[in-house]
């Protein structure tokens, strides 16, 4: 078997093993793309609970995205303080909203649905602070596009498994994984890899002896 076929076969087995253990995640309905974008900014360097709390407080404090955009940045930062890095995130949210208004004449991203995936990705990535992961999250979770977001857990676990080269950058990992993970299973695999990274394949001390993927894992094989 050549290297590409080996990786493809390992990938398919890993996707299936994770599904056996974690199931197929159920994602509640579709979000509005602008809400998703704001949540993605809030989620940087924090957990889902604090992201959700920050988003709830933000939407309780401000009635509309226009109000968030026009508010004193300190008020926005205060509303989202639970998410951490709140001064940076408040500034980034306002900059994104201003940029969207300038480019579109209003605060609405539903037009992205009409665009091809690559074009929509490029449009989002021209917003301040929006990288490949954030763009992929917005497009996958709001429009069901077959993008594959690579966050810190996905990146770490994929590297240890040997699905991407050891010295791959995050940017490169996006391209590689998006190209090989089967379209309809991208969201499932993304979520299950995050679950596995949080529960078993932890950054500092991976619990390899308990891991259902160890027979497929380069990191494990090198050490055993």
Question: Could you list the residues that contact ligand SF4 (CB under 6 A)?
Answer: 157, 160-161, 200-201, 206-208, 211, 213-214, 217, 219-220
Give the CB-side neighbour count of residue 219, counting CA atoms within 13 A. 22
Asked whether the beta carbons of 124 and 112 are under 8 A apart, the reply is yes
Q: Which is nearer to ligand SF4, 42 or 193 (CB)?
A: 193
Distance CA 60, CA 55 (A): 9
Cα gap 109→14, rounded to integer Å: 35
Residue 200 Cβ vs ligand SF4, minimum distance, rounded to whole Å: 5
Beta carbons of 54 and 82 less than 8 angstroms apart? yes
Cβ 52 vs Cβ 58: under 8 Å: no
Instruction: Provide the angle, in degrees to the nearest 10, between the axes of the packed helices 170-180 and 3-22.
Output: 80
Question: Please, which residue, 100 or 213, has the CB nearer to ligand SF4?
Answer: 213
Query: In terms of CB distance, is 57 or 198 closer to ligand SF4?
Result: 198
Cβ-based nearer residue to ligand SF4, 102 or 222: 222
Least Å distance between CB 207 and ligand SF4? Answer: 6
Give least dist CB 213 to ligand SF4, A. 4
Can you read off the two tokens belonging to residue 148? 């594959």
Residue tagged 């590409």 (tokens): 4
Query: Of 189 and 219, which CB lies nearer to ligand SF4 in the complex structure?
Result: 219
In the complex, minimum distance from the CB of residue 167 to ligand SF4, in angstroms, rounded to a whole number: 17
- Residue 202 C-beta: closest distance to ligand SF4, Å: 8
Q: Identify the DSSP state of 48.
A: H
């Amino acid at each position: 078997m050549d290297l590409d076929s080996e990786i493809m076969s390992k990938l398919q087995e890993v996707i299936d093993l994770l599904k056996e253990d974690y199931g197929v995640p159920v994602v509640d309905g579709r979000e509005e793309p602008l809400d998703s974008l704001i949540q993605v900014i809030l989620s940087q360097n924090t957990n889902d609970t604090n992201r959700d709390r920050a988003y709830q407080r933000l939407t309780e404090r401000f009635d509309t995205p226009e109000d968030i955009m026009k508010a004193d940045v300190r008020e926005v930062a205060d509303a989202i303080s639970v998410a951490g890095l709140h001064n940076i995130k408040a500034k980034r949210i306002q900059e994104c909203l201003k940029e969207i208004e300038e480019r579109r004449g209003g605060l609405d991203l539903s037009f992205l649905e009409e665009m091809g995936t690559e074009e929509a990705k490029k449009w989002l990535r021209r917003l301040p602070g929006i990288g490949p992961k954030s763009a992929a999250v917005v497009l996958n979770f709001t429009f069901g596009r077959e993008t594959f977001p690579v966050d810190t857990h996905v990146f770490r676990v994929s590297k240890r498994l040997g699905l991407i080269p050891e010295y791959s950058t995050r940017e490169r990992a996006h391209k590689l994984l998006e190209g090989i993970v089967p379209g309809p299973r991208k969201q499932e695999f993304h979520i299950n890899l995050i679950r596995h990274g949080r529960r078993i394949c932890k950054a500092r001390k991976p619990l390899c002896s308990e891991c259902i993927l160890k027979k497929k894992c380069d990191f494990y094989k090198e050490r055993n």
